[in-house]
Amino acid sequence: MHHVMFGLLCVIWGSNFILMKWAYAAFGPIGVAAGRVLGGAGVLWVVWALSKRGVRGAARDLSKGDWLALMVPVTIGSIYPYIMQPYLIGKHQDSAFFGMMVSLVPLLTIVASVPLLRIWPTARQTGGVLLGLLCMGLLFRDGGVRGMSGWDLTLAALVPTSYAVSNTFIKRRLSGMPPLFMTAMILGLTSLVVTPIGAVAEGVKPVSGAALWEALLVVAWLGVIGTGLATVMFYRLIQTHGPLYAGMVTYVIPIGALSWGWFDGETVTGAQLLALVGVFAAVAMVQWRGEQKQDGLNSGRR
C-alpha cells in the first residue's frame, strides 16, 4: 500500500507547481498559500470529525509539549515553503525549474537525520544523494544562466531545507500522533497565520470574472487534493517508513513539473534533462531494494 501512496504523491505533487503558476494570475503568493491550507484543512477536519474518536477527544489529549512541537512543521514545513514557492514561480514564470528544486529534500533529510534521529546513512544512500546534489548543482548553474539572482536561488534552496528539517522532526517527535489529525492541525494552525495576512496585504488581483473562477478552481484543487489529502499520505509514509523513504518522492516529482512546464510553453533546457537523468540514477541507488529492507532510516528503526 505504501508504494501506491508513493506513486499518487508523485502524480499529485508533480502538478502542484504549474497549478501555483496558474493561481498566481489572480492571487499573490500569500493568497495562494492561504487557499491551499484552508482547502486542505477544511476537508481533513470534516473527515476527522466523522471518525470514531472525534476532534475534541484527540485535541484534549495534546499536551503543552505537543502543541509546541506542532509549531515546527507549521512554521518550517508549511508557512515558509507554501508562500515562497508561488512567489518564486510567479516572479520568474517558471514552474518546471522550481519544481525540480525539491529534489534536494532527500539529501538534506540525511543531513537532518544524523543530529535529530541519530541515524547514519548507508554507503549506497550517501552515494545516491550526493549524486542528486551534483544534479541540483546543474540546476543552480542553469538558473544563473537564465538570469535568476543568487538571492532567489538561495530562497529556493531553503524550501527543500525546510521540508527536510520538518519531516525529520515529525519522525522524531510526532510519530505517535494520528497522521490525519496531525495534518489537519498543521494546516489549520497555518491557515490562522497566513489567511488574515493574505487578505490584508494582497487581496485579489484585477482580473476578469472567468480568470478569477479558473484561479479559484485551481486553488481549491491545490487545497483539497494537492495539499490536504496528499499531505496526510506523505506524513503517513514518514511515520511508517521514515523521512528518507517519504522524501524520495521529491526525486520523482520533477518529472511531472517538467512535463507540465513544457506543456505550458516553458523552456526546458538540456541541463534540466541531464539533471533528471542523474536523479533517476540517484533514486536507483538510494531506494535499492536490498538496502531498504535493512535500512534504519527507511523503516523508522535501527
C-alpha grid cell, residue 206: 484585477
Single pTM value for the model: 0.82
Q: For the chain, what is the domain count?
A: 1
- 174 pLDDT more than 80: yes
**Averaged pLDDT of the chain:** 83
Compute the average pLDDT of residues 259-284. Answer: 84
- 5 pLDDT more than 70: yes
What distance in Å separates the CA atoms of residue 168 and residue 170, rounded to the nearest whole number? 5
Structural Rg of the chain based on CA atoms: 19
What distance in Å separates the CA atoms of residue 302 and residue 295, rounded to the nearest whole number? 7
Instruction: Give the range of the structural domain holding residue 255, as residue numbers without chain letter.
Output: 2-299
What distance in Å separates the CA atoms of residue 15 and residue 154, rounded to the nearest whole number? 23
- 161 pLDDT more than 80: yes
User: H helices within 93-178, ranges in order?
Assistant: 95-100, 105-117, 123-145, 150-173
